[in-house]
């Protein structure tokens, strides 16, 4: 049985050393997608979403308070962060400082094991790790729901990476404070379902259009968006039943239709947003062929050209081989369900 909640075995989140607080979080891949915000400032999604947290590509983030410094410093993968990524981290720290009633600046150091901005959920692992590390550094005692709500303010998908295994993010109700309070993720216990997710990295470069910009443009201009948002409710209900049954074929079919629907909303935006490349389509053809040949394999894609293929762990090697044959030159890695965000123990390297 998979163990998603390794947190009981680590020291509590309030531990802060003079080297700061370090947190580790993993990306998650949505099987029912979040796309579109009904409140841009509070980052409140239009739709509920459901994801699987992975056991690969962790983000490790340290937040160290630097009283007396002139301002925050943000280091991303060894280099000073610039532009929007830097601004988003500083805005997030401002929010944490406001909640904690504190004013000290901080030094934030982040390492991503996944290419940043390539549609591989680096913002999910990034803001989940930042939420956990910053809350600890500023002395905020938050439970998982509150941490999830906080992580959402960085990136809605980050609310789900607070939890291991499968997680459901509620779009919430109402507006303003009511929406903020009711939009958070929670774990979906699925003890007996432990699929593999073969990640096909067809292009690890940063995407041309950020998901933030693309989803705003889609909501504003795509005539298909309302229909997809509505059908997503049915997809979520069906998905929960399929997960309960541990039915890989049903989970895969629902995830695939939900992802294609999301990309259809983008293709119908004016002008279109197209993340899927020829290599993406080649991998999708390979997945279809696998199914025709009797291997259950189902694809999902996010705001980028990379494809994640859901399959049985025993079929992962065959799926990886098919993906490589379809898109030579891409890199392939098999993920399983992974743990929730946590503070790193003092004696860990
Ligand atoms: O939370 P963001 O801004 O990284 O948006 C994520 C959107 C998708 O990855 C396309 C879907 C999802 O639910 O993760």
Structure confidence by residue, pLDDT tens digits, 97-156? 999 999 999 999 999 986 655 556 689 999 999 999 999 999 999 999 999 999 999 999
The domain boundary, picked from 163, 190, 217, lies at 190
- Taking CA atoms only, the protein residue closest to ligand 1 atom 8 is 302
Residue 288 lies in a domain: yes
Specify the ligand 1 atom closest to the Cα of 119. 9
pLDDT of residue 122: 80
Which of 85, 156, 206 has most ligand 1 atoms within 8 Å of CB, for mutation?
156
Together in a domain, 153 and 259: no
- Distance in Å, CA 12 to ligand 1 centroid: 29
Q: Whose CA is nearest to atom 10 of ligand 1?
A: 302
One domain, residues 170 and 206: no
Answer yes or no: do 171 and 301 share one domain: no
Whether residue 221 sits in one domain with residue 112: no
Region of residue 217 (phi > 0: left; psi between -120 and 50: alpha; otherwise: beta):
alpha
For the entire predicted model, the pTM comes to 0.94
Structural domain for 248, as ranges: 196-335
Q: Is 110 in the pocket of ligand 1 (CB under 6 A)?
A: no
- The per-residue pLDDT for 113 is 85
The reply to whether 93 and 156 lie within a common domain is yes
Q: What's the confidence (pLDDT) of residue 125? A: 96
The rounded Å distance from CA 104 to ligand 1 centre is 31
**Residue 323 CA, ligand 1 centroid: distance in Å:** 23
Domain harbouring 310, CATH code: 3.30.70.890
Asked if residue 46 belongs to a domain, the reply is: yes
Query: How far apart, in whole angstroms, are the C-alpha atoms of residue 69 and residue 16?
Result: 19
pLDDT, one tens digit per residue, over 244-282 is: 999 999 999 999 999 999 999 999 999 999 999 999 999
Longest CA–CA separation in the chain, Å: 64
Final residue in a domain of this structure, among 138, 167, 190: 190
Task: Indicate if ligand 1 lies below 6 Å from the C-beta of 123.
Answer: yes
Is the residue at 345 inside a domain?
A: no
Give the residue from 144, 168, 190 where a domain finishes. Answer: 190
Give the chain's domain count: 2
Q: How far away, in angstroms, is 49 Cα from ligand 1 center?
A: 9
Q: How far is the CA of 305 from the centre of ligand 1 (A)?
A: 14
Where the chain has pLDDT below 70, the residues are: 1-18, 114-121, 346-349
Is 259 found in the same domain as 121?
A: no
**Quick check: CB of 32 below 6 Å from ligand 1?**
no
- The reply to whether 185 falls in a domain is yes
Q: Does residue 211 line the site of ligand 1, with CB under 6 A?
A: yes
Residues 185, 58 share a domain:
yes
The CA distance from 172 to 241, in Å, is 21
CA of 20 to the centre of ligand 1 (A): 29
């Amino acid at each position: 049985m998979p163990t998603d909640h390794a947190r009981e075995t680590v020291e509590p989140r309030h531990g802060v050393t003079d080297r700061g607080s370090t947190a580790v979080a993993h990306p998650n891949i949505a099987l029912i997608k979040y796309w579109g915000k009904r409140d841009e400032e509070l980052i409140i999604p239009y739709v509920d979403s459901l994801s699987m947290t992975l056991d690969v590509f962790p983000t490790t983030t340290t937040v160290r308070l630097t009283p007396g410094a002139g301002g925050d410093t943000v280091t991303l993968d060894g280099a000073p962060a610039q532009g929007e990524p830097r601004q988003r981290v500083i805005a997030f720290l401002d929010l944490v400082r406001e909640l904690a009633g504190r004013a000290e600046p901080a030094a934030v150091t982040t390492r991503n094991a996944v290419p940043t901005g390539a549609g591989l959920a680096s913002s999910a692992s990034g803001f989940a790790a930042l939420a956990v590390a910053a809350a600890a550094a500023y002395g905020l005692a938050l439970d998982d729901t509150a941490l999830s709500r906080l992580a959402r303010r960085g990136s809605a998908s980050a609310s789900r990476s607070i939890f291991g295994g499968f997680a459901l993010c509620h779009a919430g109700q109402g507006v303003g404070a009511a929406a903020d309070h009711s939009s958070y993720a929670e774990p979906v216990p699925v003890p007996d379902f432990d699929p593999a997710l073969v990640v096909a990295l067809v292009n690890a470069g940063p995407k041309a259009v950020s998901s933030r910009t693309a989803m705003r443009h889609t909501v504003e201009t795509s005539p298909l968006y309302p229909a997809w948002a509505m059908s997503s409710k049915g997809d979520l209900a069906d998905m929960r039943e399929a997960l309960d049954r541990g039915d890989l074929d049903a989970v895969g079919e629902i995830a695939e239709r939900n992802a294609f629907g999301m990309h259809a909303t983008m293709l119908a935006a004016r002008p279109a947003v197209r993340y899927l490349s020829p290599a993406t389509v080649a991998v999708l053809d390979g997945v279809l062929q696998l199914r025709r040949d009797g291997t259950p394999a189902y694809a999902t894609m996010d705001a980028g050209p990379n494809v994640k293929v859901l399959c049985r762990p025993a079929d992962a090697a065959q799926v990886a081989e098919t993906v490589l044959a379809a898109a030579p030159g891409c890199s392939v890695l098999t993920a399983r369900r992974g743990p929730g965000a946590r503070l790193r123990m003092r004696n860990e390297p």
